[in-house]
Amino acid sequence: MILVVGGAGYIGSHLVKELVEQKAVIVLDNLSTGREDSIDNRVRFVKGDLGDILTLDQLFSEYPIEAVMHFAANSLVGESVQDPYKYYNNNVSNTLTLLNAMLKHGVKNFIFSSTAATYGIPETDLITEETSTNPINPYGRSKLMIEQILEDFHQAYGINYIVLRYFNAAGAHVSGEIGESHEPETHLIPIVLENLLGQRENISVFGTDYDTHDGTCIRDYIHVTDLANAHILSLNALLEKKMQTATYNLGNGKGYSVKEIIDTCEKVTGIKANAVITDRRPGDPATLVASSERIYHDLGWKTEYELEDIIDSAWKWHKRILEDSSN
């Protein structure tokens, strides 16, 4: 049985949808940002906090858990700057509680959701796992701290882990049943689609004076189901003892600028966007693009979805939730 902490969230729920095809799954989620209706009905769901020692003790005592996959973090850069306690408390302290509970109950396999934000402002355009980590905000630092704790826990206690550093997760499940919706929404693709659906007056383009081909920031957008598949390969590599520890970037290896994203959304939907240029958003590096060569080499992972697929699946999901809310 696999414990998925944060399995009601955007990325966690997509992982669960794939994982239930192979394994018995139990989801622990406090529903602070996740949606109960996104949890697959084949899993056992426990509403609770990853920092709650009693709940964790109960779960590990009651179920034969082989591995833990951890998605339950706060992940907004701006919020982490405003409220670092929230980030260090949930992302670091509560994760430590979870790791300690695993150790107490002899569970030694851990998959950790990390982030491109651990790299900070990299000196190179194509980021490999060897690129130095120098996070520039509490969110990135909180994730890097856990990565470092995992290294120490592997040495001292024999925890085996795979760290997955996500670039820009985007898109929705092909079924249209689950997708990305945050409250408030801060991510570019959902914001553009909300504008196209008339739910938002305009899109702010945060700066057009970056050192990129059109002056807007370049990011590496990756379909959430591609991310989910990388988790399953990683989990199996740990369970089959092919790997003890690893750190992998997960991206498409291709960068798109903010302007290119807006153009592609217009192309896929046939609707004109209303974009306005505003100041830069603090803390945004000009370009973040991943090399995912290492996970391809070790586990054979590669992406299946292109940008158009990402936007098309997200568009279906956004139209669906709008229709549901107006019924």
- In the numeric block, which tokens belong to residue 183? 């409250």
| Cα–Cα distance for residue pair 89/130, rounded to 1 Å | 28
10 classed as catalytic: no
Closest approach, Cβ 7 to ligand UDP, in A, equals 21
* CB within 8 Å of 189: residues ≥ 6 apart: 170, 171, 180, 221, 261, 265, 310, 311, 314
Cis before residue 184, ω within 30 degrees of 0?
A: yes
Question: Which residue lies nearer to ligand UDP by CB, 44 or 187?
Answer: 187
Which residues bind to ligand UDP, rule: CB under 6 A? Answer: 77, 168, 186-188, 191, 203-206, 217, 219, 258, 281, 284
Find the catalytic residue in 139, 210, 248, 256. Answer: 139
Cβ distance to ligand UDP smaller for residue 80 or 168: 168
**Which residue, 109 or 113, is less far from ligand UDP as judged by CB?**
113
Smallest separation (angstroms) from ligand UDP to the CB of 2 = 27
User: Contact 131/119 with Cβ under 8 angstroms?
Assistant: yes
Instruction: Give the shortest CB-77-to-ligand UDP separation in angstroms.
Output: 6
Give me the residue whose beta carbon is nearest to ligand UDP: 217
* Beta bridge partners of residue 44, listed in sequence order: 26
- 3, β-bridge pairs: 26, 68
Contact 139, 118 (CB under 8 A): no
Residue 235: CB minimum distance to ligand UDP, A: 24
Q: Which is nearer to ligand UDP, 116 or 146 (CB)?
A: 116
Q: How far apart are the first and last CA of the chain?
A: 38
Q: Which residues are catalytic?
A: 139
